Structure 1
Amino acid sequence: MAVTLTEAAARHVSRYITKRGKGVGVRLGVKTTGCSGLAYKLEYADEIAPEDMVFEGHGVKVLIDPKSLPYIDGTELDFVREGLNEGFKFRNPREKDRCGCGESFRV
């Protein structure tokens, strides 16, 4: 079981944590929502909870709650710039379908 980050994602997270002045990494999970049933949730984490699964890539910690891990195991978190837009992109091999608006997915 693993969740990974690209170098670009790790650089972005590291810069943001430095700018914030605090943080141990990012917390990645899923929530029930949208057309297809699940959506990613990503937030900066200031502490590691006892139940968190911790993965590390390029010096950045990714914290996952055990309930979310079966849906996102194998996911690669990337940070991309496309034209004037930039943001995190999730490459999840478990995704079977994604809704048309891109907000949610199904495994």
Structure 2
Amino acid sequence: MTQLHDLRLRLLVQQESEHIAKSQPTDLDLSVVQARCLCWLALLAEAHEDQATEAESRGDTEQAMGWFADSMRLRDVIQVVTSIEVPIPESSEESDQV
């Protein structure tokens, strides 16, 4: 089951990275990448919390603790990604005025 989750996660990451590359082929905006990463990480953390709640309701405490621990790790990663200061690129209007 975890292999299926790993493969699904890899596919999602690959699809998102291809989408980013296609949407900005020449000028990669790191702030967009950071924002997308944060969105995906938040969704993954929420899914893990839901899995933990579901496992707990089934009485599978060990599995619930595992899902919860994973969600906490994802929350830690969210904090790290959030703390990265990505310079926001100047818009073309601002650079014309300078």
Class of the TM-score when normalised by the shorter of the 2 chains? under 0.3
User: Higher strand proportion, which one?
Assistant: 1
| Structure-2-length-normalised TM-score | 0.26
| Structure-1-length-normalised TM-score | 0.25
